[in-house]
Amino acid sequence: MNSILEWVDQGAPCKRAIAYYRHSAEDKQENSVPIQREHAQKFAQQHGIEIIHEEADEGKTGLLADRPGFIALFENWIENDAAPPFEYILVYSVSRWGRFQNQNEPAHYEFRCTMRKKRVIYIEDGFPKEDQLLIGSLQIALKRYMAAEFSRDLSNKVFHGCVKVSEQGYSAGGTPCYGMARELLDEHKQPIRFLQRGEHKEISNQRVRFVPLHDETTQAVHDIFTMFVQEDANFSSIAAMLNDRGIPSATGALWDRDKIVRILMNETYTGARIYNKTWNRLRQGKRDNPRQDWVICRDACTPIVSREVFDKAQEKLWFILGKWKQGRRAMKEARMLIFRGISDFFMKKGMTEDDLFFVCRDFPMVLSVSTEVQPSGKEWCFILPEELRNNNEHILGIGVVPERKNPIDRFFVIPAENFGIGGICTFAEAEECYARYAIATEKLEETILGLIRHEHDLSSLAAYT
């Protein structure tokens, strides 16, 4: 392919075009692009068109516009004022342009071409007749729907095939969880070997299943359940034990509370094969599926822990964590809302991003889930990190409520000395200190600015406040 700078008008035919080709990995047609090229060249010759450049996406899904060739087509040619002049974009068929699930999306990209006085011509359909433009538009719209429907129909067939394979206890794709591996089985379902990352089965009637690795990672999983259920160890001590033994986590990083909890909540370690826990079909965004939609095959492989031990672990987790996950999510959202408000306030006043980074990094704020406790009403437990214990006289406390659109529930200004040596401050709505700590929402901006002024040099913030 030639670069833009190499193209110089040397008296070539007056009509020029860029050709675009695409085939997806699912097509399994390695000659698809050459075939599309032949059709494009024949079409161009018949209509006196010179193809001055080609863009191709091989093995790329048409569900998304995020394809290298498609992006280059727009950035380097269609919307590039420095590009050589041309009139047409030749595409073999509507489906090669894309199988977008939103019918407005393919039309949007065609409209961007039209705004630049470029016409998308589908070789299968040819040039639309001038007196049948409306009918031609309707035909193209129908073909866009058919292209999208093909992907939906194929997705449904693949999904039901994966469900059938998973019901039999075999893998329908995905990465094995920590302490387990993918084992390749022959057509008689006898083990062949472990598959490494990036390897796949070579014959369609072979199968893959998840099995324990029987190495130090598998032993680590067993030890986590044993310490938690039988020895009543907490998350921190389990993580410390694994770190002291030098056993890496799934990411290679040190063990922490979150990683321990994920191991303890993974039912796969009982020997079960679980499919359809999440939904991300047709690249329309990932979401968690309710448990009733999961496909679970028990006793699919040798368990690392017994079902009895796993169930006891879930009971303990239920009591220990409660709404821990929802609470963490709510605190994260509340923190983002506060920092977004601070950022918007100072950015409008001209603060640089570097200064804003230090303002947000050093801002003295702690969060706690608001817990209903009778008869004292709501209670809060704030934990002050070590890095915020110095140089701060007061701390902004935010009480949050999980599973609410705006998770922020209450605001407090707490003297730093009230956190004590352990960095913990707890109080209830019925206690006298509640009235001293609580602040009204309308006083929040003034309070935040006051805390920032104390933390940072007054002269450097004078221009912004």
243-294 per-position pLDDT tens digit = 999 998 988 889 988 899 899 988 899 998 888 877 776 666 677 776 667 8
**Least confident interval from 30-39, 134-143, 357-366:** 134-143
Q: What is the mean pLDDT of residues 191-200?
A: 83
Q: What is the mean pLDDT of residues 33-50?
A: 91
Question: What pLDDT is recorded for position 37?
Answer: 92
pTM here?
Answer: 0.47
Please, which residues have CB within 8 angstroms of residue 154's CB and are 6 or more apart in sequence?
Answer: 26
What's the per-residue H, E or C state across 29-43?
Answer: CCCHHHHHHHHHHHH
CATH of domain 180-321: 3.90.1750.20
**Least confident interval from 7-11, 92-96, 179-183, 345-349:** 7-11
Question: What pLDDT is recorded for position 137?
Answer: 74
Does 8 have pLDDT greater than 50?
A: no
Measure the N-to-C terminal CA separation of the chain; round to a whole number of Å.
57
Question: What pLDDT is recorded for position 175?
Answer: 84
DSSP secondary structure, 133-191, as one string: HHHHHHHHHHHHHHHHHHHHHHHHHHHHHHHHHHHTT---S-PPPTTEEEEEE-TTS-E
Say which residue, 413 or 327, is predicted with more confidence: 413
Architecture in CATH of 4-149: 3-Layer(aba) Sandwich (3.40)
Question: What pLDDT is recorded for position 464?
Answer: 52
Amino acid of residue 17: A
Query: Is 99 strand, coil or helix?
Result: coil
318-373 per-position pLDDT tens digit = 667 655 667 778 888 998 998 888 888 888 888 888 888 888 888 889 998 887 65
Does 178 have pLDDT greater than 90?
A: yes
Q: How does residue 459 score in pLDDT terms, banded at 50, 70 and 90?
A: very low
